[in-house]
Structure 1
Amino acid sequence: MAEALVSLLIEHFGSMALELIEEEVRLVKGVDEDVANLKTNLEDIRAVLKDAEQKQLNDASLKRWLDKLNNAAHDMDDVLDEWNTAILEFKIKKEEEAENNASSSNKKVCFPMPSSCFYFTRVKRLTLRRDIALKIKELNQDLDRIAKDKDNYNLNIKRIVERPEHRQTTFLIDETKVQGRDEDKSLLISKLLSESSDDGRHLDIIPIVGMGGLGKTTLAQLAYNDETIKTHFDKRIWVCVSDPFEEVKIAKAIIEGLGSSGPSSVELNALVRCIHESVEGKKFLLVLDDVLLEDYSRWETVHVALQNGAIGSTILVTTRKQEVSIMMGAATHQISLERLSEEHCWLIFSQLAFMERTTEERAELENIGRQIARKSSGLPLVTKTLGSLMRFRKTISQWEDILCSELWESKDVKVREIFAPFLLSYYDLPPLQKRCFLYCSVFPKDYDIERDDLIEMWMSQGYLSQTINSKKEGRDCFESLAMRSFFQDFKEGEYYGTITCKMHDIVHDFAQFLMGSEYVLIEVDGIKENKKEVDESTRHLTLAVRSEDHFLTLRHNAKNLRSIYIYADSNKLHVDRILLFSHLTRLRTLTMDDCEFEILPEDIGLLKHLRYLDLSGNTNLKELPGTLFNLYNLQTLALCNCSSLPRLPEKIAKLVNLKNLYIFGCCFEGLPKGIAKLTGLLTLDMWVVPKERKTYLDLGDLKMLKYLQFQSILCIQRCANAGNLDEAEKINLSSWQHLLDLTLEFRESDELYEIGEILDDDTEILESLQPHPNLKALEISNYQGATVSPTWMMSLTNLTSLELNFCTKCEILPPLGKMPSLVSLVICCLDSLKKVGPEFLGIIERDEEDHGIARRDQDTPSEPSIISFPRLKKLKFDWNEEWKEGKSGKVTG
């Protein structure tokens, strides 16, 4: 950890941060020398850090030295950021004062007078200059002592080797086939198909039991996705459980998986009743992944509700504990997973380690490779980690370094038996990737990590550069960590181009092991809370709150926190009861999504260092405090689905560093004109076309935010308000070559059925919103034109997903069957659509396609060769009330 932070600090000292310091602080005597000493000491220390981080595992004294260094490095980072923030604040206030003076001069003649405000600002500036100089001097003295102490540990200088560029490959492809589980898969599927209440039960339970890293989840996935299983069960539900066993969360996940509309209440009894009704008469398969609970009383409530399913319904449980199998009364049905054989481990290892190597290289490395693969002890996860590590090591000597590492003989049993392979892979990472990996420990276990959210959190912690290319830098880092097998379960997100993943529990434990006291998880359920406490060494906190009545306040001991992730399972969270922002002034990242709080305290404005704020899903939030717009460092503001929030204030213009603004799901009448001043904005997921153009930004104003053309997702709401087609054409969507996912929503749903006639204006507006041919996903909704066939539709040759929703006046569909890349097509609530025919399918006769070339057999009658929808996998027609022809299987894809 220290190596990564020190490396980043050295970069800061050579960057604009230092120039800003020199601009003001160097005027204080001696500061130049102190800054130079800081940088020299940091560079001397970095030279031995690689050796120190590896030796600390067996040397408690050395670990304490590293902790001191880590704390000092964080303090240095805070001082740098404090000064940069002060400089920024002075500049913004100076610009505001100039604007106010200009505004006043237009109204009346003013006589120049001495300004008490100017005098106060100057005094404050001089005081701050001395304060920052004093802090730098104190930090320099501390670092001097730490640098001298390093000589007590006989640390070796290790040259920092630049990693050669390697060809990037997509992490979405499973690089290893599942090895050695064919018999286990056959046995499991056999049980799932044949187990039938031989003990008089309606509900069978099959546990898969084995130690972490054996592939229990993988085996469950193989069965869950098997075609015979899909057809055997009416419903399949997958729920990640982990620790603790949260009945409410699990019940909600089961209801969602059943496709039922859950109750408005989140009381367990109401949820259980809903499950009981939803499963009645259905044969279902429920997978409960990673169950650790041993208390039958907490399991019984959910279990009883599930017994209302049809005979043959089954619960498949994966667990590391034999006690879970016994508690569920299913020990006689369990599958005990064993370690893989050496040969199967070798097959997994070699597939990764020898990727892109020649036959000669493979032969040269095979002998030592088999010895390394043997170190995995039959665990597939460990084998993948070692294979991924060796993939980037080219020579025999580099492979021998891994085979002969001292970590395999560590005194720490946990390191020797569990973490050694992960440590070897971790030590092989460059400093930036180390820090980014460790940060992932702040997510709860089994959490779906959204790649771009993670990258923005890395940015907020200062790990990535602050340029327009920072997201690309973050994606490269993510890709590298993925290829090291630190992430798994990759999925396409809800929008095209978005990626989610998870961390295996063992990898998550490993990250938290390395973070040590820097990371704390506090669980509060109103009755008890875990014994971990936040102290001055804690930098990152995950707070799981399961009761709105519990009072918990993070006070002075939490002053060094840099990120807080609040996970609320209660109906309503009182933020002011949990966080006292005045003591959390070093916070960079704050996530409070789906907490259902109504009020955000005014003192959030004290978080001057804050760069990432996620308030998404708080549907009761009605107003943003004005102090929030004093957070000049804020880079990401997420307000998705804050449906009670009526507007964004004009003050948003003060967030001069804002790069990402997420507002999808908010019910705004328009966007404030102040957004046009956020010229560095990289992401804005929703644009609202207003009725009142004097008050809000118009559609044509999008062109003022030039960097938005580099984003991949955009929703334009209330397109019907774009009565001035010139405004719609000004944005020139056809030039947005990076836009991959576009939603065009013409009006609010409650306005839809007030319209009786076809609207030609909708047709013209749709025509003017032509996207670039690179577009991958398009949704058109609440559109009232007679046809949804703009001239540009068939030019979208890269389109993979198309949705037409509530286009209630549309009678004819374009020849969508000709679209060569279309994979998913959803047509919902086209009330005027009466039929679909050849024009929709795009059917072409072969002799027409061949331009009259004579057929070989002139006597054979011509038969149409159907080439419609060559890649279509999903076709859905839903709630098309007037549809009379094409229903009975005539439409195929």
Structure 2
Amino acid sequence: MAEALLSAVLGQLLSITTEFTEQELRQVKNVEKRVSNLKEKLKDIKLVLEDAESKQLDNPSVRRWLGKLKDVSYAINDVLDDWSQEIRKSQIPNHVEEEEGDHHQKADPVSNKMMMMKKKVCFPSLSCCFCLNQLKQVCVHRKIAHRSKELNETLDEIAKEKDAYSLEKTNNASPKERRETTSFVNVSDVDGRDEDKEKVINKLLSDESSDKVPVIIPIVGMGGLGKTTLAQLVFNHEKIEAHFNERIWVCVSDPFDEVRIVRAILESLKHGHRDLDTLQALSDRIRESIEGKKFLLVLDDVWSDDRKIWEKLIQPLRCGAVGSRVLVTTRKTEVAHMMGVTSSQIIYLAQLSEDHCWKIIKRLAFEGKNGEELKQQLEEVGKKIAKKCKGLPLVAKTLGGLLFSKETLRAWEDVLSSKLWELQDEQSKTFAPFFLSYNDLSPRQKRCFSYCSVFPKDFEIDRSNLIEMWMSQGYLNGSRQDMEKEGEKCFEILTMRSFFQDFDRDVDGNIYSCKMHDILHDFSQFLTKNECSAMKVDMEDIEPLNVEKVRHFTLQTPKQGRAKFPTSTFHQNNLHTLFLICSDYGLDDDDDDDVDDYDMLVFLRICCNQKHLRTLYLENFTITKVPRQLGQLIHLRYLNLSDSYGLEELPDEVCDLCNLQTLRIRDCQHLQRLPKGMGKLVNLRHLYCFGCRNLKGLPKGIGRLTELRILDNMIIPENNEAYLSLGDLKKLNHLQSHQTDFGIYNCHNLISMGENKERVLMNWKYLAVLRLSFKRWDREICEDEFGILESLQPHQGLKRLSIFFYRGTNLCPEWMVSLVHLKILSFYSCPYVETLPPLGSLPSLEELCVYECDKVRKIGVEFLGNIKHNNNNNNNNVSFPKLKLLDFLGMENWEEWEGNIETTEHTDDAAGGAFIMPRLDSLEINYCPMLKSLPEYLKLIPLKKLSIAGFDMLLQSLAQSEKEWLKISHIPNIVINGIFAIRRDGKWNYDELARFGVPRAFVHDGNDEDPF
């Protein structure tokens, strides 16, 4: 940890001495000598840090010495940041200030007048202004010189003190061998849990009679045993999917907040709750949602054994159907007993055998390794290492990730013989295998991992967000041009070492979010003890906090009620990170919001005194404004105000944040404008403004931000002169090479701006996701919008396309059917489109959603695309060859879906012979009241689920026509207006079908043969 921090400081020293000219360095008295002294002392100390960080685990004196070293390293970093800031400030060209204007003028006309008077006075006497500026610089330089002298003296004392601990030097000339790769190791396989998995599945599917609904099944075991992994395996098993009407997953963790859990249950059920603000009302909604349904609820990671709280949660779940189950994972047997479960009903998860631990290690460690002789040598050592896993799969995964990077027998033997296995302190002993993997990381990777302690437990970590926060702390400053790539590389290596888990992936399979296992989160907190701190506040008392040495601070606060903020604790100016999070995330606004807003504003003003703050995370609060004092945080690199629903404008002083790299204001729906002077944010690399629906446009100055790499949303203004235009983006070279996700609002304004012929997006070859939104409320037909749609042609590599509120009649520009890599396509509220494009020709399309296309009356064979009708089973002859999900919603005038069996030929080969949608898993048709029947070819498609809602005519057809029923009778899961019917082992339960109105005569009970 200290090694990582020192490496960052040395990098900052090197950056200053190389980036700035010799003349600038000499502005501070004796600066070259002092910088040289600092570098030599830090390098000398760094040689013993690896040994010191190992010995600190059992030696409190060494631990205290490392604490002093961390403190002085942070102090040096702050001084260097002050210094580089002053030099950069002096380098800003005058024309930038003038072009962006005095952005404070509009808000303060008196100040504007005074500034104009000053300009008039100073203009004839340039030497006077120059002298005043020089005087100010001299004062700053004196302060920096004095502080650097003090730090040199402190470092002298620390350097002398190290000799008392007999620390051994590490030869940095021969760095540790590391095998690096950008491919992810597959950690999804699970070893040694087949028997446990079958036991849990059998309990869930059991027909044992019980007077309790639902039946509680706890999985109990120590941390790292794989309880969550086992629950996930079971939850996603095909037998479980087929057996339960509803499956719900909720991560509980600590504290046990019943309101949050109930809301999470409703969200999983896809039932609204924004109109509900009490536990009773929420519970009633759950009761309505699951009444008479057989459900499975997984409550993962339960800690609380408070019976009263548990009873409040379980009460509304008792109206589910017989056979409903609640699967609980917990480390505490007391939790299971509190739920009224006997010991015989508990599934105790045992430790894995040494053989199974070795299988996990082997699978990860041998990934990509060649040479059978070497593998045999490594296997003997590897089995001995597996014994040290103590049966914990999490430890086995971590060690497997570590050994993956080791290429030689000697390197494996070093892991086996490490002194870390001999630690005596209980907590340190618990973390020993993680220390092995952690110590093998580079200093940069160590800092990046340990920084994750700022996130609360079970927090869903967005990958790009995490990388930008690393950047803001200066952890990725090796190459200014490639900081994002360095961050990606860091994330991949930490993933390969199993430091992250629970991945969510995008359309290409790339990870976009993850979580940390509780034990690894505890480990990161152990590494950053005294450096990172977290606290919770409520409406009553708050914990006292000493922030004297704290650099990264996390504060959790409730959204509702009047919370007390720890304002008295922020008299120190040491913070580098302030992470504010609402613990009641997602709760509705209430009557006290104005009070909350005032208290939060006061608190933020006080926080603005933290002059060395680099990262400010403030998401999902009810603030309506941001204090102007924010502009004082001149070292701020990262500012996140996303989901601040009531925020109406950003203060002009935001433009003073000349070091700002990332600005996140996503889903600030009431935000009216951005500051005119944003062109002064010369270091801005990422601007996220998706969901800011009320912005009229983006400031013109953004077009001059040559460092900009991410702009997730473009607003086309009515007035091209006042705002950024689409054509301005052509100048931003970094944007074209980094942009992967892009949205364009108000596309209809491209007509009046004369930009509809500029094919700006064609050269964005990295663009994967594109959202096009036209005028939302104007429902008049506009044929000119087809020309706009044609001009917005993306690169052929596009993976996802969404079109909103389009008012033309033709929805098929030539380029649409040529998007050979497109995986997801969505049309939302296109009221004048009469015919759907021939989308069946798209070879990679996996999801298609068509919502509220009111003029569509018929979907004919042209929808299937241009396919050849022969028996060669390849994608050229298949309509929708990879489609998995087809979803229609709100098609009010859709009457006919054409498609007879004769539409296509078919064979009886292994692939099923279907030439139409051969991979379709799910078909959803909701609120299409005029649709009379389904296409005949539907019975050739191996569908797994059909969902129908809000129908009149189609339901009548199912009840009156056996032919219509036979089109869907092969589908194992059918949901009509929220009522489930599930075909089990090829048999239908007629009682379930009767609720659909299907006559008994239509149902062939027990007939597993194809009825057609």
Q: Flag whether TM exceeds 0.5 (same fold).
A: yes
Hey, what's the Cα distance between the residues in 2 that align with 1:468 and 1:321? 49
Match of 1:835 in 2: 858
Q: For the structure 1 residues 230 and 77, does the alpha-carbon distance in structure 2 shift closer, same or farther, using more than 3 Å as the test?
A: same
Q: Which amino acid aligns with 1:276?
A: R
Secondary structure at the residue paired with 1:393? coil
Candidates 480, 484, 500, aligned match of 1:487: 500
Are 1:478 and 2:478 matched, yes or no? no
2:85 corresponds to which residue?
85
Q: 1:624 to 1:269 in 2, by over 3 A?
A: farther
Structure 2: unaligned runs, 5 residues or longer? 103-114, 875-902, 907-912, 944-1012
Query: d(CA) in 2 for partners of 1:290 and 1:875?
Result: 34
* Structure 2 letter corresponding to 1:728: N
> What TM-score, normalized to structure 2?
0.82
Amino acid at match of 1:373: A
Pair 1:64-2:77 in alignment: no
**Which residue in 1 is equivalent to 2:800?**
777
Instruction: Give, as a single letter, the amino acid of the residue that structure 2 aligns with 1:472.
Output: K
Q: 1:687 to 1:271 in 2, by over 3 A?
A: same
Picking from 310, 326, 331, the partner of 2:337 is 326
Which is worse superposed, 793-802 or 834-843? Answer: 834-843
For 2:471, the aligned partner's letter is M
Aligned match for 2:259, one of 248, 259, 270: 248
Name 2:286's counterpart in structure 1.
275
Per-residue CA deviation, residues 692-747 of structure 1 (Å, 9 max, x unaligned), is: 22322222222132221121000011111110585234352111101011111122
Match of 1:35 in 2: 35
Shift of 1:495: 9.8
Q: Cα deviations across residues 85-140 of structure 1 (Å, max 9, x unaligned)?
A: 223334448445655999999x9999723576544322111111111111111111
1:814-833 equivalences in 2 (<5 Å): 814-833=837-856
In structure 2, the partner of 1:20 is 20
Report the 3-state secondary structure (helix = DSSP H, G, I; strand = E; otherwise coil) of the residue aligned with 1:475: helix
For the 8 Å contact 2:179–2:404, the answer to whether it is kept is no
Asked if residue 222 in structure 1 is aligned to residue 237 in structure 2, the reply is: no
| Distance 1:669-1:98 versus aligned 2 partners, 3 A rule | closer
> Residue 785 of structure 2 aligns to which amino acid in structure 1?
D
User: What displacement does 1:305 show?
Assistant: 2.2
Q: TM-score, normalized by length of structure 1?
A: 0.93
Q: Does 1:443 align with 2:467?
A: no
Read off the aligned partner of 2:5 and give its amino acid letter. L
Q: Which residue in 1 is equivalent to 2:954?
A: none
Deviations 1:243-267 (A, max 9, x none): 1112222122111111101133443
CA deviation map 1:135-167 (0-9, x unaligned): 111111111221222211111111234466746
In structure 1, the residue matched to 2:834 is 811
Are the equivalent residues in 1 in contact too, given 2:100–2:701 (CA < 8 A)?
Answer: no
Aligned pairs for 1:544-583 (under 5 A) are: 544-546=556-558, 548-554=561-567, 555-570=569-584, 571=589, 572=593, 573=596, 574-579=599-604, 580-583=606-609
Partner of 2:662: 636
Report the equivalent of 2:381.
368
Report which stretch shifted further, 580-589 or 721-730.
721-730
Compute the displacement of 1:207 (Å).
0.8
CA contact (8 A) 2:180 2:405 kept: no
CA contact (8 A) 1:833 1:882 kept: no
Contact 1:450 1:498 in 2 (8 A): no
2:815 maps to a residue whose letter is: W
Compared with structure 1, are the counterparts of its residues 203 and 45 closer, same or farther at alpha carbon in structure 2 (3 Å cutoff)?
same
| Distance change in 2, residues 1:787/1:155 (3 Å) | same
From 698, 714, 722, the equivalent of 1:687 is: 714
> For 2:833 and 2:924, how far apart are their aligned partners in 1?
17
Mapped partners of 1:614, 1:456: distance in 2: 11
The answer (yes or no) to whether the contact 1:353–1:391 under 8 Å persists in 2 is yes
2:512 alignment partner in structure 1 = 499
Spell out, residue by residue over 1:168-201, the C-alpha distance to the aligned partner (whole angstroms, 9 max, x if none): 3543x63352111111111111111126561x22
Distance 1:201-1:619 versus aligned 2 partners, 3 A rule: same
Taking a change above 3 Å as real, the CA distance of residues 318 and 228 of structure 1, as seen in their structure-2 partners, is same
**Cα offset, 1:518, TM superposition:** 0.8
Is the partner of 1:208 in helix, strand or coil?
Answer: strand
Q: Distance in 2 between matches of 1:441 and 1:338?
A: 29
Q: Does 1:845 align with 2:869?
A: yes
Equivalent residues in 2 for 1:99-248, closer than 5 Å? 112-113=124-125, 117-160=129-172, 161-162=174-175, 166=179, 168=181, 170-171=183-184, 174-175=186-187, 177-194=189-206, 198=210, 200-248=211-259
Secondary structure at the residue paired with 2:530?
helix
- 2:715 matches 1:702: no
Q: Which residue of 2 aligns with 1:746?
A: 774
Q: What is the CA RMSD across the aligned residues, in angstroms?
A: 2.8
For residues 797 and 123 of structure 2, the distance between their equivalents in structure 1, rounded to whole angstroms, comes to 59
* Secondary structure of 1:613's aligned partner: strand
The aligned amino acid for 1:787 is: N
> In structure 1, what is the Cα distance between the partners aligned to 2:696 and 2:507?
25
1:767 alignment counterpart: 790
Q: Secondary structure at the match of 2:859?
A: coil
Deviations 1:42-62 (Å, cap 9, x if unpaired)? 111111111111111111111
- Tell me, in whole angstroms, the C-alpha distance in 2 between the residues paired with 1:817 and 1:164: 51
3-state secondary structure, aligned to 1:15: helix
Q: Distance in 1 between matches of 2:139 and 2:121?
A: 34
Residue identity opposite 1:832 in structure 2: K
Aligned to 1:857: none
Note the alpha carbon deviations across 1:343-383, whole angstroms, 9 max, x for none. 11111111112222222111111111100001001111111
Deviation at 1:613, TM superposition (A): 0.9
Worse-matched range after superposition: 767-776 or 93-102: 93-102
2:321 alignment counterpart: 310
SS at match of 2:20: helix
How many residue pairs are counted as aligned between the two chains?
A: 874
Amino acid corresponding to residue 331 of structure 2 in structure 1: R
* Matched-pair contact (CA < 8 Å) for 1:263–1:274: no
Stretch of structure 1 that moved more, 707-716 or 84-93: 84-93
For residues 553 and 607 of structure 1, what CA distance do their matches in structure 2 show? Answer: 20
Contact kept, 8 Å, 1:239 with 1:254, in 2: the verdict is yes
Amino acid paired to 1:600: V
CA distance change for structure 1 residues 330 and 178 in 2, over 3 Å: closer, same or farther? same
Is the partner of 1:290 in helix, strand or coil? Answer: strand
**Structure 1 residue 623: deviation in Å?**
2.1
Q: Does residue 686 of structure 2 align to residue 660 of structure 1? A: yes
Q: 2:535 aligns with which of 522, 537, 562?
A: 522
- Distance in structure 2 (CA, Å) of the matches to 1:385 and 1:683: 33
Please tell me whether the aligned partners of residues 802 and 827 of structure 2 are also in contact (alpha carbons under 8 angstroms): yes
Distance in 2 of aligned mates of 1:713 and 1:496: 15
SS state at 2:406 partner: coil
> What is the one-letter code of the residue matched to 1:783?
Y
Q: SS at the partner of 1:468?
A: helix
What CA deviation, in whole Å up to 9, does each residue of 1:65-104 have, x standing for no partner? 1111111111111111112222333444844565599999
Change (3 A) 1:101 1:363: closer
Q: Which moved more, 1:547-556 or 1:878-887?
A: 878-887
Distance 1:558 1:247, change over 3 A: farther
Contact 2:507–2:799 (Cα < 8 Å) also in 1: no
Residues 592 and 615 of structure 1 are in contact (CA less than 8 Å); yes or no, is this contact kept in structure 2? yes
Q: Relative to 1, partners in 2 of residues 1:878 and 1:584: Cα closer, same or farther, differing over 3 Å?
A: same
Work out the CA distance in 1 between the residues paired with 2:140 and 2:221. 59
Alpha-carbon shift at residue 452 of structure 1 (Å):
0.7
Q: Secondary structure at 2:756's aligned position in 1?
A: helix
* 3-state SS of 2:751 partner: coil
Q: Does 1:587 align with 2:613?
A: yes
* Counterpart Cα distance in 1 of 2:628 and 2:317: 46
Are 2:637 and 1:611 equivalent residues in the alignment?
yes
Alpha-carbon distance between aligned partners in 1 of 2:917 and 2:684, rounded to the nearest angstrom = 42
1:671 match: secondary structure: coil
SS at match of 1:845: coil
Percent of matched pairs sharing the same residue = 45
